[in-house]
Structure 1
Amino acid sequence: MDKAKNNLALIKALDVVEAVANGDRYLKDICSRLDIPKSTVHRILLGLIKANYIHEIKDVGLVLGTKLIQLGHLAEHNLPIKQIANPFLRHLAAMTKDTVHLGIRERDNIYFLDSVSGERHVQMSSRQGTCSPLSLSITGKSLMLDMDRDEWLRIAQSQVAPQTNSITSEMEEYQRHGYSYGHVGYEKIYYCISVPVRDDQNNIVAAISVTTLKEYMPEDRVNMLVKLIQQSCDAIAEQIKKAQQIDLYHINNL
């Protein structure tokens, strides 16, 4: 009986965390969403705040705490997406002869997790292991596709304030296409196409890009590359799903 009560308490605590993650900032909002007594939610929140899973900020309300954010980053990095994606990146680079990058979101930045160089005489240098503001990278913008306009504005204003209107109009166009594209580099001599990798819940978990000299990017090739990159993204997503199912199987059989 005690074990059942403990399990129920844990589920309620996780429900409270999820409610805060979904934007419920005050006790009454959480109670309304979960239909749990106020005294129970209050007790759960006290424990979560003490453990740094939830923070209470004046004039803002309840937000996810640093401990939960740290665990999220650990979970992200423990997911073997780099190992899963690498063979597909290599195959894509061999087919296109261009530089291929894999990026994941790190707060308001993109972290370039992996890259494979192409075979052309002039190549985009590898950015593996580096971070860049989301809105200053074509690959980063691919990771922003599912955000709403307010989030685009928030990021753009903090990263490229003078070009805020341009960034949001670009994102609306990218969102319609389902991928991002454009010239990159200080002299705009390169052209990049990026497509997001989505999990089985259709959430964006990473993005793949192909970058080459703009002279190698006629319009017909752009359309062909989008299809190739999308195929790679779909294949990676399928392998991630299989890896997660294997992990879940092991957990259920502990």
Structure 2
Amino acid sequence: MDSAEHIDPTNDWPQGTQTLGRGLSIVQAIGDGAETLSELAAIIGCTRSTTQRLTAALLQQNWLRLDRAGHYALGPKLARLATQAQSGTPLASLSRTALQSLGERTRDTVHLGIRADDAVMYLDKIESRRGLETRSRVGQRMPLATTGIGRALLLDDDETEWASIYQRTIGTDARFAKWQQRMRDYRRRGCVFDLEDNEIGIRCVAAPLRDGGNTIVGAISVASATPYLGLTRMEALAPLVIATARDISGMLGWREKADATK
């Protein structure tokens, strides 16, 4: 699980809606990586029996599913809603053809994500043509500071904000200086390398998407298993990922500075 942060579903919910808040908090916790009843009970701050009653109701209505190992996951009803939300998102709609083309050219997994607080939320995913499975899914949130696509979303932030996000999501860590230096290098290059920072065995090359105001509004990445993404291939893919990001950004109204006066 990415975070064991305690959720109090009663704090911000009007009187009489606490049960709804707890149910939605369970869905959020599973989306963030919780899998067991014990984890869910600890996160939402309820007894095991109360948590079990809530999960049973959500399972019955297909908001959740339970595998043979007793692990919870988001259910088919949420998957349908995620697909509907994805199709209604202008960024996802505008990017789809370019992402499919990138997936065809690389044969690797392609992601589209946006910033959601201290996380990246995946809006779209083109599956790998190599038969490889990555754990990412549309609607999932992953930490900005550890993912390639998440760090691409941070390239314009100042270093004070980098330190703050790092501390909030990773903690006080002696590795921050190295992380910070890598971010400076990625900022200069305009793309980010994920060197198994978020998931052992998975690497990616990511680049930001910009709108007409030159603001980063999203990011894309090409991800694959490390044997398929050695450093030499990552270097070779970087220009392609950057070019695709620029093509999508152009559809959002972005123009290179040299073109601004034309």
TM-score normalised by the chain length of structure 2: 0.58
Q: Take 1:108 and 1:186, find their aligned partners in 2: how far apart are those partners?
A: 15
Could you tell me which residue of structure 2 aligns to residue 166 of structure 1? Answer: 178
Confirm or deny: 8 A CA contact 2:114 2:219 kept in the other structure. Answer: yes
Confirm or deny: 8 A CA contact 1:117 1:126 kept in the other structure. Answer: no
What is the Cα deviation at residue 240 of structure 1?
2.0
Letter in 1 for 2:100: R
Gaps of 5+ in 2: 1-86, 255-262
Could you tell me which residue of structure 2 aligns to residue 14 of structure 1? Answer: none
| Mapped pair 1:144 → 2:176 | no
| Mapped pair 1:80 → 2:65 | no
What is the Cα deviation at residue 99 of structure 1?
0.3
Compare CA radii of gyration and give the structure with the larger one: 1
Q: Take 2:198 and 2:206, find their aligned partners in 1: how far apart are those partners?
A: 19
| Mapped pair 1:114 → 2:124 | yes
SS at match of 1:201: coil
Q: Take 1:158 and 1:226, find their aligned partners in 2: how far apart are those partners?
A: 29
Q: How does 1:94-133 map to 2 (within 5 A)?
A: 94-133=104-143
SS at match of 2:183: helix
Count of residue pairs brought into register by the alignment: 166
Gaps of 5+ in 1: 1-76, 243-254
Q: Take 1:186 and 1:155, find their aligned partners in 2: how far apart are those partners?
A: 15
Percent same amino acid at aligned positions?
31
SS at match of 1:120: coil
Letter in 1 for 2:106: T
Could you tell me which residue of structure 1 aligns to residue 68 of structure 2? Answer: none
Could you tell me which residue of structure 1 aligns to residue 216 of structure 2? Answer: 204
Q: Take 2:107 and 2:123, find their aligned partners in 1: how far apart are those partners?
A: 20
Could you tell me which residue of structure 2 aligns to residue 34 of structure 1? Answer: none
Confirm or deny: 8 A CA contact 1:123 1:213 kept in the other structure. Answer: no
SS at match of 1:114: strand
1:155-207: CA deviation from partner (whole Å, max 9, x where unpaired) = 11111112433332221221122111022377621111101111232211110
Confirm or deny: 8 A CA contact 2:113 2:220 kept in the other structure. Answer: yes
What is the Cα deviation at residue 216 of structure 1?
1.3
In 2 relative to 1, CA 126–108 (structure 1 residues): closer, same or farther, beyond 3 Å?
closer
